[in-house]
Amino acid sequence: MRRTQVFFTPVQDNEPVESLAAKALRLAEAARLDRVIPKGRPCAVKQHFGEDKNTGYVKPPITRAIVDFVRKAGGDPFVTDTNTLYRGHRSQATDHLRQAADHGFTLESLGAPVIIADGLQGADQVAVPISGGKHFKEVRIASALHQAAGAVVLTHVKGHCQMGLGGAIKNVGMGCAARAGKLAQHYGGAPRFDARKCVGCGVCVRWCPTEAITLAPRKDGERPLARLTPEKCIGCGECLALCPSDAVGFNWDIGDLELGERVCEHVLGFAAAKPAGIAYVNFITDVTKNCDCVGSKQKAERPNVGILASTDIIAVDQATADISRRAYGHDVWAQWWPKSRYEEAIAYGESLGLGTRAYTLTEIT
């Protein structure tokens, strides 16, 4: 059986961020992540900038160390994430860039530009054909992330209400998808328009690319209501992104395992444009029950464990699960989110050819 190398260094509680940055750099060098850095071409440093008031994200000095590593390896780095599906401080690019700057992610601090990969409203995307999956024949990936010749993925490992383990698979599958890709992962139907909120402004009608939405008159001279022709809907999410009155909703009742499979299929689409490979660095630090999308400071509920690096997304997440289980004496991800089936999602990713769960662990001190 083929085994992938995963490199690991331990981290203590309350280590200064400068120490974490130095350890991440040593791991990147030991793991020879420079092998997948494209020479003279754009290389994405993909991470989560953290929602407003959240503090769990990978901090700018660590990102700066990786940016410098990419540049030294010959790549042209930019730091990036995509807009969120939910409404918040990162749901469109102008707010998202301000939020990133508030958390210290700027050109001056990073030595590289910050780019929101799916554009102003989350609609800048590429439809990438995939094969071998259960759910999709093509997936919609954020344009800048698709066009980048290479990528280094920095992941703050934490819990996730549906994925269970919020590792590299979640960071790439959800985080590299454009808004339409996120919608395709999370819902199983067409948008619904809330008659109580809809003001009949027609914004959704003007922006719908397939003319699936019309304005239908209501009784007694009330303002018209947006109506959908479901067979014309392509799930692009423009109506959700642009509705000024928050009148667009979806059915989010996708089972946790199916969501994990859909996320893995988006990882497959992202990886398709990176034939030289992708580098992954997982930080099991400041471990929280919920995702960094939560708009508040979360208490770290488990001690720091360490940092892992690999060019195999399946191996790095499997090693993350195994190491955290040994460190904590139990499966914290399943304890927090008992309905999640993250191990099965990792196995599904392996079946898609994303990597292998068999790995050799090398500790770097």
Best CA proximity match to 307, nearest among 329, 326, 279, 281:
281
Interatomic CA distance for residues 203 and 345, integer angstroms: 38
- pLDDT for 81 equals 98
Best CA proximity match to 308, nearest among 122, 119, 167:
167
Nearest-10 crossing angle of helices 342-351, 256-271: 40
pTM score, whole prediction? 0.89
Beta strands of 167-298 (E only): which ranges?
A: 192-193, 213-216, 225-228, 248-249, 279-284
Instruction: Give pLDDT tens digits for 7-62.
Output: 999 999 999 999 999 999 999 999 999 999 999 999 999 999 999 998 999 999 99
CATH topology for 4-185+254-363? Answer: Rossmann fold (3.40.50)
- Domain spans of the chain? 4-185+254-363, 189-249
Question: Could you give phi then psi for residue 128, rounded to 5 degrees?
Answer: -105, 120
Quick check: 64 and 21 in contact, CB under 8 A? yes
Q: Is pLDDT of 231 > 90?
A: no
- pLDDT for 346 equals 98
- pLDDT for 209 equals 84
Best CA proximity match to 9, nearest among 75, 79, 62:
62
Beta strands of 110-212 (E only): which ranges?
A: 114-116, 125-129, 138-142, 150-156, 158-160, 164-166, 192-193
| Confidence at 280, pLDDT banded by 50, 70, 90 | very high
Interatomic CA distance for residues 163 and 171, integer angstroms: 11
Instruction: Give pLDDT tens digits for 83-92.
Output: 988 778 898 8
Q: How many CB atoms within 10 Å of residue 108? A: 7
CATH topology for 189-249? Answer: Alpha-Beta Plaits (3.30.70)
- pLDDT for 12 equals 97
Q: Are strands 4-10 and 306-310 parallel, antiparallel or unpaired?
A: antiparallel
Tokens 């700066």, located at residue: 64
Query: pLDDT: is 115 or 245 the higher one?
Result: 115
- pLDDT for 223 equals 83
- Dihedral over Cα of 238, 242, 247, 251: its sign: positive
Best CA proximity match to 317, nearest among 351, 343, 287:
343
Quick check: 45 and 152 in contact, CB under 8 A? yes
Q: CA-CA-CA-CA torsion for 191, 194, 200, 206, nearest 10 degrees?
A: -10
Q: Are strands 76-81 and 114-116 parallel, antiparallel or unpaired?
A: parallel
| Confidence at 109, pLDDT banded by 50, 70, 90 | very high
Report the mean per-residue pLDDT for the chain.
93
Q: Is pLDDT of 136 > 70?
A: yes
Instruction: Give pLDDT tens digits for 164-221.
Output: 999 999 999 999 999 889 988 987 667 889 989 999 999 999 988 889 999 998 776 6
- pLDDT for 68 equals 98
Which residues make Cβ contacts (< 8 Å) with residue 23, sequence separation at least 6?
A: 9, 11, 307
Cα–Cα distances (Å) from 60 to 55, 219, 349, in that order, read 12, 55, 30
